[in-house]
Amino acid sequence: MLVWTYIFSRLDENNKAIIYIFEIMTKYNVPKSTMKRIVNYGSDYNGFVMDYSWISNYLNISVKDNADGLVVVEKKTKSKPKTTSKRTLKPAINTLYSKMIEEYDIFCQDKTGVGCKIDGAQGKSMKRIMKFLETQCKKKDNQLENNELEEKVLIGWQYILCNWDKLDDFNRGRIKLTEIDSNMLNILSKLKEQPINKKQKQRNEQISKAVRGATTTDYSGLGTRK
């Protein structure tokens, strides 16, 4: 069986082969007479139509199928090594979006110690923030050129991030782009409020205490002489 496996492996695309008998004898360590009997027996056993002959210690063989003619013999070919293409990171495009993301990344590093994480939802929110700021800038000056508009939008975004600590505790903790986007009007409103310095705050507290004290004082005895 091994001998015939070897013979089939030597067939060319036309299912023909010329094999030196000593090549097979050396490979399978069998004498010449035994080798010929194996070939003769195999030609009857395999059920194929074969034309073969021994010419000067060479086996000339041609194999055909009983029904279809030629027998299809698969040839092993050396497979080419697979080449994998490495993904290369494209350089960031110098757009308004990329600049605003860069500013936001710096902001996140300052607030949390790690950079920002931008997924689909965060990216969409950033684009909505851009659109909102563009609209506000156009309302103030609808004659702005595109590069001027982008510059003012970026300045507006920087202003929001740089003054973030002026917000109340609730809004300061909401730093995701989705949260900033949904609360933009409230954020701008808080930032525009006139800040109260420490002295003014203490003065207001003193006034409040005085008012509370005045309202709880019993004045019923005033004007009564004893």
SS3 for 84? coil
Q: Is 142 exposed, middle or buried (0-12, 13-18, 19+ CB in 10 A)?
A: exposed
Q: For 196-221, what is each residue's pLDDT tens digit?
A: 556 666 776 776 676 666 556 565 66
Q: Is the dihedral of CA 176, 181, 184, 186 positive or negative?
A: negative
The predicted structure's pLDDT at residue 66: 47
User: What parts of the chain have a pLDDT lower than 50?
Assistant: 66-75, 85-91
Provide φ and ψ at 170, rounded to 5°.
Answer: -60, -50
The predicted structure's pLDDT at residue 24: 72
CATH class of 2-70: mainly alpha
The predicted structure's pLDDT at residue 88: 38
CA distances from 112 to 13, 98, 109, 132, 205 (A): 69, 21, 5, 26, 34
Sequence ranges of the chain with CATH classification 1.10.10: 2-70
The predicted structure's pLDDT at residue 69: 43
SS3 for 183? coil
Which letter does DSSP use for residue 112 in this model?
H
Provide φ and ψ at 64, rounded to 5°.
Answer: -130, 150
Instruction: State the pTM of this model.
Output: 0.47
Nearest to 18 by CA among 54, 48, 43: 54
